[in-house]
Amino acid sequence: MSVTHHPPSELLASFAAGTMDAGEHLVVAVHVSGCSMCRRFVRAVERIGGSTLEAVEPVPMKAGAFEAVMAQLDSPSPQPDGPTVIPADDDLPEILRHYRIGRRRRVAPGVSLRPIELPGSSRSRAFLLQSGPGTRMLEHTHTGTELTCVLRGSFSHEGGRFGPGDFDFGDETLDHQPIVGSDEPCLCLVAMTGDLRMNGFFGRLIGPFVRL
């Protein structure tokens, strides 16, 4: 897999530091798992962080802190109700097989979505987005952020062509119109905050009916 587009360095640094929310962390983790360049960057940041911790003056732990941590490790982890909902024919990254994935629903002509259940609270929502070959999205921007990792197929917009493993970042400053490649469906992992804001008269007309 030849990866051309990568997360901004500040996103990779946040990922290495463990400060991203669950949805965004998942998308970056899937990209990093398939991108040797970004893995090297993350490891470098982790080494810097480790060196910084070693230089910090240690402070005494609270009484009973060790026992409390060990008690949590010994307690059984809650198990999800029922099996993870993943079709056998979906060739998904291994990381995603640890998540519950919901049923497919149609969100626009040629476009379907499967929500991903995230652990704990997350300001972003994560989902698998599949679009048919040649699908032209309406021109839009965002009221929040959108992190996308291509799993299969491709799409293009003003920022270039995005194929398997590529990462795309969008926010309220980006105005784009993705077009899916004509050879096969495009499957993407997406973490999103806010909503889409459609441009043009037709976009504003149907915008209230498009919910990602």
Q: What is the DSSP string of 59-107?
A: -PPPTTHHHHHHHHHHSPPPPPSS-----TT----GGGGGSEE---EEE
Residues 6+ apart with CB under 8 A from 90: none
- Low-confidence residues of the chain: pLDDT under 70: 1, 49-90, 139-140, 197-212
Task: Please enumerate in sequence order all residues whose Cβ is within 8 A of that of 189, keeping only pairs 6 or more positions apart, or say none.
Answer: 26, 27, 30, 96, 126, 127, 128, 129, 148, 149, 151
Q: What region does 4 belong to: left with phi over 0, alpha with psi -120 to 50, or beta?
A: alpha
In degrees and rounded to multiples of 5, residue 77 shows phi and psi of -75, 140
Q: Give pLDDT tens digits for 128-148.
A: 999 999 998 876 677 788 999
Percentage helix, strand, coil for the chain under 3-state DSSP, each rounded to 5: 30, 25, 45
Q: Which amino acid is at 178?
A: P
d(CA 29, CA 16): 10
C-alpha atoms less than 13 angstroms from C-alpha of 7 in its C-beta half-sphere: 30
Question: How confident is the model at residue 198, as a pLDDT?
Answer: 59
Q: Hey, how many other C-beta atoms are within 10 angstroms of the C-beta on 37?
A: 11
| pLDDT at site 84 | 46
- Does this model's pTM top 0.85? My answer is no
By the 8 A CB rule, do 207 and 195 touch? no
